Amino acid sequence: MQQVGADVTSLSDLVFQLARRFDERPAFGHLGASISFVDLDRLSRRFAAWVQHETDLKPGDRILIQLPNLMQYPVVLFGARRAGLVVVNANPLFSAEETLRLLRDSGARALIAFAPLSAERLELLSGTAVEYLITTRLGDLHPAPRRLLLNLLAGCKRLGSKPCRGGRLPPAVTPIAFTSVMQKGAGRIWQPPDIDSELALLQYTGGTTGPAKGAMLSERSVLPIWRN
């Protein structure tokens, strides 16, 4: 990769620098569509602004991201860090029990999940600290009418052919669609937060010799070393 500057000390800095250097060049793609580096910068700011102005989530709170390979993932990842949230990654193919354990162990207050896979897990949230459930669909970052077509084709089904079983959302959990998050965040101004802790990610191990354990990672530990 080309150099982006020596003053990159955070993931937020990295996105900003990449947007300045690569502008409208594609950053991430999915099923024939893409978002540019400028899009990534803009959309991640929107997500961060939504967190800051539309929720009571604070820097240091955990957000569990459980998504397949969608363009929404980097938007949420960088947006969450821009709001100071600690990111917890989870495999979207985890069973409900595996997901529940990560939610409880991490103390996540927010969960973003792939909508077709989330229905059967709703009732499990009552046993966790989750207060915000963000759901996203396959085509949410695709242009219309392709977005509508993809979301229609990828309805409430599992990755196989078995339909989802609906669950009941606990009263303490606020549900919101990713598209609504983006709309609300567009009308807000993101401000870089004051962050006391260096903790950026809780990356859970494979758990081959026991229960998965959360490895505590700082942003500096996951950033590449950029040199002029």
At residue 211, what are phi and psi to the nearest 5 degrees? -60, 145
* Confidence label for 163 from pLDDT (cuts 50, 70 and 90): very low
Residue with tokens 């929404």: 72
User: pLDDT (tens digit, 9 = 90+) per residue, 181-213?
Assistant: 999 999 999 999 988 788 999 999 876 677 888
Structural domain harbouring 199:
11-155+165-205+214-221
pLDDT at 157: 46
Largest CA distance in the chain: 53
Q: Residue 158: is its pLDDT beyond 60?
A: no
Reported in sequence order, the residue ranges of the chain that DSSP labels E, i.e. its strands, are 26-30, 33-36, 62-66, 86-89, 110-114, 132-136, 174-177, 199-204, 214-218
Tell me, yes or no, whether 6 lies in a domain: no
Cα separations (Å) of 47 from 74, 117, 170?
11, 22, 24
Count of structural domains within the chain: 1
Tell me, yes or no, whether 116 lies in a domain: yes
Tell me, yes or no, whether 227 lies in a domain: no
Interatomic CA distance for residues 151 and 191, integer angstroms: 32
Tell me, yes or no, whether 150 lies in a domain: yes
| Residues pairing with 89 in the sheet | 65
User: pLDDT (tens digit, 9 = 90+) per residue, 96-116?
Assistant: 888 999 999 999 999 999 887
Q: Give buried/exposed letters for 45-56 (b at 16+ CB in 10 A, else e).
A: bbbbbbbbebbe
Tell me, yes or no, whether 101 lies in a domain: yes
Residue with tokens 């807000």: 188
Q: How many other β-carbons are positioned within 10 Å of the β-carbon of residue 89? A: 15
pLDDT at 213: 87
Within a 13 Å sphere around the CA of 17, how many CA atoms are in the beta-carbon half? 15
Tell me, yes or no, whether 96 lies in a domain: yes
* Confidence label for 133 from pLDDT (cuts 50, 70 and 90): very high
CATH of the domain at 172: 3.40.50.980
Tell me, yes or no, whether 81 lies in a domain: yes
Tell me, yes or no, whether 228 lies in a domain: no
Angle of CA points 32, 36, 41, to nearest 5°: 140
